[in-house]
Chains A and B, each alone.
Chain A
Amino acid sequence: MRSDDTGLLAREPGETSYLTEGTTLRSWLLSTDHKRIAILYAISITGFFFIGGAAATMIRLELFTPQGDFTTADEYNRLFTLHGVIMVWFFLVPSIPATLGNFLLPLMVGAKDVAFPRLNLMSWYLYIIAGIFTLAALLLGGVDTGWTFYTPLSTLYSNSYVLLAAFGIFVVGFSSIATGINFIATVHLLRTKGMTWMRLPLFAWAMYATSLVMVLATPVLAMAMLLICAERLLGLPIFDPRAGGDPVLFQHIFWFYSHPAVYIMILPAMGVVSEIIACEARRRVFGYQFMVYAMLVIAVIGFLVWGHHMFVAGQSPFASMIFSFLSFVIAVPSAIKVFNWTGTLYRGSIRFSAPMLYALGFVGLFTLGGLTGLFLASIPVDVHLSDTYFVVAHFHYIMVGGAVSAFFGGLHFWWPKITGRMYSESFARFAAITLFFGFNFTFFPQFILGYLGMPRRYHEYPPEFQVWNVMSSTGAVVLAIGYLMPLGYFAYSLLNGKRASDNPWEATGLEWTTSSPPPKHNFLEPPVVLTEPYAYHDWDEAPGGADETRQDEPA
């Protein structure tokens, strides 16, 4: 390591990485390298995260007092719509797949790139175009329908920029579909020699399962958005009850996408956490095959539970019963994952690095989020809790406590690989702990508020709810500070961070066998896989059973 090395792009002479292959803006904006596209995504997604976060902060400020004196009713409605739309479609859905997934999937399967590199670049442009539409709608005039766009409010009554926002969401869907198709093809076609299905890292499996859901569910969202546009623009009476339309139809179509979308957010998180826990506990993932099957089962059953969003919407009791039943069934594979992560720690050698703190935090928060899901799957309890803060708390535990924690964990875990730099471990641990406490402080009181009956999307509320709201808003301030911290130490790491070795965590996995940051085509020689994915011990390394015979087959 040289003493004068400062700045991201300073490298040993003659050494090239994907970061130094061309330094012009053009070489980035027209790059088909999956790693550069991942960076483009990461930068834009971070922008959206902080826009959505700013809206969340203002929402919590408004709720400090019962009479709502910080914003007007309309401003508040536009704020929570902005928060929801940005966070769901422009942050959570693409977060892990488009950044970590794009960067790591080809590396993990030992490929030079994804199967369709130009499609990959196109998907980023679609994302940006969609983002411009939606941001224009949300920032210029605002939309006041909530991120769920329920009809006929959104089609007949809202005087806001619904069309522009809906069109943006329509376009961003194509970006997810393109990413999904790319990942499926990559996993099927580009696995390197010896990378059998049962040797695929769990993160790659997670990307695969997520992609299936993306490709199958997203077109339904596109349909829902098109129908909204058709009714608003052309006056087609699709959801208008006065002309024979069905206002509840929209909810069916919408949740047919949006419930599986929860798994688009959480399956990648499960993949990230599996990688981190195995590495930092230095154990083979407990029950690897069960973990794989659990993800696939979640991806499939995730399509069959949407009706649990509509127990009070006037759907038939029999339909409600069936959706309730299926919602309980999907708890089983989720529980398997939690037990298996816990089991992976058994007899491990655990290092409490920043990524591990995020991963352990994820397990706890996801478990609580999942358990509160059982409340909402139970019809009589759901009738009481639906559309209250209990629901808000529940899905924030899954999406923020779960998906965002895992995203941050993954970002820390693979940061040295992506940038070639180390970050300050102590600052990172401090941020992880701050986020964990800030998160619980923000969202746990909302479970209580929900049980007491406070409805969501209220800019003012009866005074007896204030004490819990003040708690929650105070926690949100801590949370906001926690999210700002990584900006600081990551920026410092880019400029002055210590050089990362190829494999700073001594992890298994092909991505750690190439240099940090990787060269343009990932590997100098196509790698060959001889062991199972998490061979952290001698006894894991012997290629066993059926896999052994496949070793000698011609490629």
Chain B
Amino acid sequence: MNLTLKIWRQKDASSKGAMVEYKVTDISEHMSFLEMMDVLNEQLINTGEAPVAFDHDCREGICGMCSMYINGQAHGPDRGVTTCQLHMRSFKDGDVITIEPFRAAAFPVIKDLVVDRTSFDRIQHAGGYISVNTSGNTQDANAIPISKHAADEAMDAAVCIGCGACVATCKNSSAMLFVGAKVSQYALLPQGQVEAPDRVKNMVAQMDLEGFGNCTNTGACEIECPKGISLDTIARMNRELMKANI
């Protein structure tokens, strides 16, 4: 198929960006979206133009690196996938596709479609861990029984890949789904309970400091999350925070 791409080009963080139009031809429906971008870049290199910078790595939907905003949706039109899992069979011949970087004040653009998501790391530095030392002298793993239900629910929260689609898609640029997922994983497990109040308070404080907005229960984050993280995690985070503040 033949497509028209409208792509955000921006030289670096301090330059002004603009939408630029490109044509690509002979795109197979079996290609992934990123392979289509590879084809475009090969074409740009061969004609002496600068290729489009975009983040990508594992191309299996798990590293969380790819971060495109496609036709007004984080990771494009399909549900439950990252951009690298989106295939061209979701588009048709002659389509015009608009491609932008994830937009949020806390995710500044580095170049073209590449944004800086280290604010997520800093939230984790503020408390996204259990303070156990790594000496190898911990107790036997089966000394901490955990109900299957709790372990499964913790796992459902822990699968967050930190891609930032929740933030990009939220009208408030809120990071609550991300932080809620992390807080939920630890809240559901017996390990690390002693520091739970500080954990949630510190992570939420850092989230605010980074310039993420608040949650107004729109639920767009849950819909766009490639890993199906539930809004329940936000409720749990709020409950944990309230508990910590009492």
Q: Do A and B come from one complex?
A: no
Which residues on A are within 8 Å of B, measured CB to CB? none
